[in-house]
Amino acid sequence: MIASKISVRLNPLYDRLQKEGRLTRPEHWLDFQAFRPAFIPKGISPQEAETEVRHSWSHCYEPAAFRRAQEWLQDNQKPFGQQLTHFVARLLFRGIYFPQMSHWAWIKLLTQNIHTLGSLVYCGVHA
């Protein structure tokens, strides 16, 4: 922990943000809070920044993004194992920001991605 604090203290960006009073958690910078900025951005309110980040993450993990990634893997002739691993990894990473806390949430998520799942099954059968 001490080494972490030293490395942060030697960071010019951290120093500048601290001098400008723009750090939201100057003594607890390791206190990660999803979607919440660790500093106050210039030209945009913290709430607007949070909204933009939330929108970006939602866009990255929407079913259409899963489908585009799967199509790219197929178009570039990636083996089935890589396609499956990529899909599962995206589901799990999605869970960091949008937790599926019940069986119903997982069923809903998988149903939303039924086209990508169908494509994976097809690739797996023909692998």
Cα separation, 19 vs 23, in Å, equals 9
Q: Which residue has the tokens 């799942």?
A: 117
Q: Going residue by residue through the chain (127 aa), what tens digit of pLDDT does each one get? A: 454 555 556 789 888 999 999 988 877 767 777 778 888 889 988 889 889 988 998 999 999 999 999 999 999 999 999 999 999 999 998 888 788 889 999 999 999 999 999 999 999 999 8
- From residue 55, alpha-carbon distances to 39, 40, 46, 48 in Å are 19, 18, 14, 10
pTM for this entry: 0.68
